[in-house]
């Protein structure tokens, strides 16, 4: 698909199964940007995506005011959900680097980002992900053309809540300073279904947290001999996960897109 201006159309607005020639309606801030900023007119072509694997080339069909436009599907593409991927569980930090990490999670194909309160966390994560976080994901997907957005979550109950989520993943890893240095987290460890990787907050996990995770079946993993800031460790994990996606030959990797 050519690189065009991209707009997010939420999944419900696509209907059950749109086909070539069908019309969809773009409203709200996305429509205002299309019509007022870009001054689009009938016939102009754009990319629409829902963040859940569905995207398409659309032409503006008609305009209704300044905040609504009908677009006609010219080409539709469905990217199946990857059959492996990384979800990061990050100890909560009061950090300006969070927005940056949200962008990189989209670019590097993360399945999810979870925020949880660790013993060394600075404050408490919100009860639910903020709308501004989702907006960051959408803006990043517009830039890089990603068909899927990571799932965002805030874990209640601290470590206990995180442990309850563990069994839902095929592989579980915890980055810990006490791990053997040759126990490096490698891409091949992230190719066996959904992988959950726990990253501590600034200052790392305390020993009791690490031991509880190990006893719950998490594998201790290292990123090498140097202490890394939490955002550096998180980005490194995302890069390993992206490498795993690209080298996984099974159907469902990013290169397998179905046109319709």
Residues 6 or more apart whose Cβ sits within 8 Å of residue 34: 5, 7, 26, 40, 46, 60, 69
Bridge partners, 174 (sequence order): 198, 220
Higher-pLDDT residue of 58, 82:
58
Higher-pLDDT residue of 31, 259:
31
* Residue 219 to residue 191: CA distance in whole angstroms: 15
| Tokens representing residue 59 in the block | 């032409």
Confidence of residue 260 (pLDDT cuts 50, 70, 90): low
Helix (H, G, I), strand (E, B) or coil at 174: strand
pLDDT, the chain, mean: 90
Q: Where are the domains of the chain?
A: 6-78, 85-247
* Residue 184 to residue 69: CA distance in whole angstroms: 51
- Tell me what pLDDT residue 254 has: 44
- Tell me what pLDDT residue 156 has: 95
* Residue 120 to residue 56: CA distance in whole angstroms: 44
Residues 6 or more apart whose Cβ sits within 8 Å of residue 203: 120
- Tell me what pLDDT residue 257 has: 55
* Residue 154 to residue 124: CA distance in whole angstroms: 10
- DSSP code of 182? T
CATH assignment of 85-247, among 1.10.8.60, 3.40.50.620, 3.80.30.20, 3.40.1280.10: 3.40.1280.10
* Residue 123 to residue 119: CA distance in whole angstroms: 10
DSSP string of 137-150?
A: HHHHHHHH--SBPP
Region 24-41: what's the mean pLDDT?
Answer: 94
The pLDDT > 70 percentage for the chain reads 94
CATH assignment of 6-78, among 3.40.50.450, 3.40.50.300, 2.40.240.20, 2.30.110.10: 2.40.240.20
Residues 6 or more apart whose Cβ sits within 8 Å of residue 231: 95, 97, 100, 101
């Amino acid at each position: 698909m050519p690189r065009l201006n991209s707009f997010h159309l939420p999944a419900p607005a696509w209907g059950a199964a749109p086909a070539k020639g069908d019309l969809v309606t773009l409203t709200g801030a996305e429509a205002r940007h299309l019509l007022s900023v870009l001054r689009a007119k009938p016939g102009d072509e754009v990319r629409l995506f829902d963040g859940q694997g569905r995207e398409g080339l659309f032409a503006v069909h008609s305009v209704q005011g300044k905040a609504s436009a009908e677009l006609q599907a010219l080409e539709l593409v469905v990217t199946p959900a990857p059959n492996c991927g990384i979800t990061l569980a990050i100890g909560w930090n009061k950090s300006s680097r969070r927005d940056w990490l949200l962008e990189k999670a989209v670019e590097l194909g993360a399945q999810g980002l979870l925020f949880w309160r660790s013993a060394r966390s600075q404050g408490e994560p919100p009860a639910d992900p903020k709308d501004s976080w989702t907006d960051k994901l959408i803006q990043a997907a517009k830039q890089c053309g990603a068909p899927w957005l990571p799932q965002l979550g805030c874990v209640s109950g601290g470590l206990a809540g995180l442990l309850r989520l563990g069994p839902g993943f095929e592989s579980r890893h915890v980055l810990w300073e006490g791990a053997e240095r040759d126990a490096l987290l490698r891409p091949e460890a992230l190719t066996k279904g959904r992988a959950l990787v726990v990253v501590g907050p600034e200052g790392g996990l305390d020993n009791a947290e690490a031991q509880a995770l190990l006893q719950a079946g998490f594998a201790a993993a290292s990123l090498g001999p140097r202490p890394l800031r939490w955002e550096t460790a998180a980005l490194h994990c995302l890069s390993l996960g992206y490498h795993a996606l690209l080298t996984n030959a099974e159907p469902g990797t990013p290169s397998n897109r179905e046109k319709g």
